[in-house]
Amino acid sequence: MRVPMLARVEGEGALEVAIRDGAISELKLRIYEPPRLFEKLLEGRSYTEVPDIVARICGICPVAYQMSAVQALERAFGVEVSDWVLDLRRAMYCGEWIQSHALHIHLLAAPDFLGADSVIALSATHGDAVRRGLRLQGLGNELIRLFGGRSVHPVGVCVGGFHRAPDPRDVAALVDKLRAAVPEAQALVEWTAGFPLPEDEQEFTCVALRHPSEYPMYSGRIGRSDGQDIGASEYEAHFAEHQVPHSTALHSTLDGAPYLVGPLARLNLNHRCLPQSVRDALERTEVAAASRNMFHSIVARAAEIYFALSEAIRILERYEPSQTPSVPATPRAGTGAGATEAPRGLLWHRYESDGEGRILRARIVPPTSQNQARIEQDLKAALEAFGLDRSDDELRRHGETVIRNYDPCISCATHFLRLQVDRR
């Protein structure tokens, strides 16, 4: 039987489950959207076009794609950007974390845990919380706009830095707004921790950037649960993508096994790098520093909003404009890789260019494709723990919640998910 469902996840897909002798014998998360071919579209383009092109991959995470791209190209060309550029790229990234996490928490995930079928229904019972979410999302968009000229598909980033330095008056005005929002971010951590989240402990490998002195967003080495870490240039020696017959979306594995990227993975690996105020807020909840419950991801997102607000304030309150918002980039033949932390997890880019800076080859591995195998693994465990004797409609709703918990960005549209259960 196929049951249509308005998914509140981005993209189009179907879930097929085969149940034999009280257990799931086969589970397939089918993604059947056509490929978008951005990697091929970049071939033959000048390196100067890359940041604005990759920003079009995702309307929610354009900054992440720009930051991984410029980092990779700067390494290919041997460009060293200034500390001023590094700080402001981090501040701009904070805006993306704030707006993306606020959207996910309030518009997509909270209805699952509070008995509402949509944010419209949720606004009738939790109107103040929904309005808070929209304010935070708007504030994140303002922060992106400050550096990018606009919040959707921003155009302010270039290889070597930024096209211009923000006006100090605009920065000061935004800092005031950021400070005023801190109590709302604090309250958000407590609010999400109070949700009736399912108890669902699982074993999984966490993967995220790690940095010796900061909660990683723009910089760091790629770390994992066992303590090992690698540079971005070593990514392909450990991580592999493969095509599965039931999906157009690639699956990624680490040393042959599924793994987790995203806010819970970041929190598990980098909890000690958070500011004390954010750690204190988390300690007042039941979310452990190394949680094995995937449903704690929503609390991790709330904590990262609080962190991103605090970090943006820290950077921008000492802002001074620069007469050189970028350094010259001299193209050369070479290859460079870059990895940053998109709201949904690790985002890796690699570019090969010729001597004039034209892109010969590009490879982009987004967070959602890295989580695909882990989502299927999670669905099998979560649905069996939920109870396979439940109705198809109950299984569908719980499966939705599990999938949405990863905030998957399959494309940039909302369609239907269909569930097929074979109980022979």
Residues 75/338, Cβ–Cβ less than 8 Å = yes
The amino acid present at 76, given as its one-letter code, is A
226 contacts: CB under 8 Å, gap ≥ 6: 205
The pLDDT of residue 423: 75
Show the tokens assigned to 338: 């870059």
* Alpha-carbon span 124 to 40, nearest angstrom: 46
The model's pTM is 0.93
SS3 420: strand
* Alpha-carbon span 338 to 76, nearest angstrom: 10
Q: Are strands 10-20 and 409-422 parallel, antiparallel or unpaired?
A: parallel
DSSP string, 24-57: EEEEEEEE-PPP--HHHHHTT-BGGGHHHHHTTS
Helix axes 168-193, 127-148, angle to 10 degrees: 150
Q: What are the C-alpha distances in Å from 216 to residues 4, 274, 339?
A: 39, 10, 11
Show the tokens assigned to 259: 């793994």
CA angle 206, 210, 212 (to 5 degrees): 145
- Helix (H), strand (E) at residue 127: helix 127-148
pLDDT tens for the chain, residues 1 to 424: 233 333 444 556 788 899 998 899 999 988 777 677 889 999 999 999 999 999 998 888 999 999 999 999 999 999 999 999 999 999 999 999 999 999 999 999 999 999 998 899 999 999 999 999 999 999 999 999 999 999 999 999 999 999 999 999 999 999 999 999 999 999 999 999 999 999 989 999 999 999 999 999 999 999 999 999 999 999 999 999 988 888 877 889 999 999 999 999 999 999 999 999 999 999 999 887 789 999 999 999 999 999 999 999 999 999 999 999 999 999 999 999 999 999 999 999 999 999 999 999 999 999 988 999 999 999 999 999 999 999 988 998 899 899 889 988 764 323 345 667 877 6
The pLDDT of residue 410: 60
Number of domains in the chain: 1
Which domain CATH number covers 266?
Answer: 1.10.645.10
The pLDDT of residue 289: 76
Show the tokens assigned to 164: 């211009």
Q: Are strands 359-365 and 345-353 parallel, antiparallel or unpaired?
A: antiparallel
The pLDDT of residue 418: 65
Show the tokens assigned to 30: 């089918």
* Alpha-carbon span 195 to 287, nearest angstrom: 12
* Alpha-carbon span 17 to 381, nearest angstrom: 12
- Helix (H), strand (E) at residue 112: helix 110-113
Range of the domain at 63: 2-422
The pLDDT of residue 113: 94
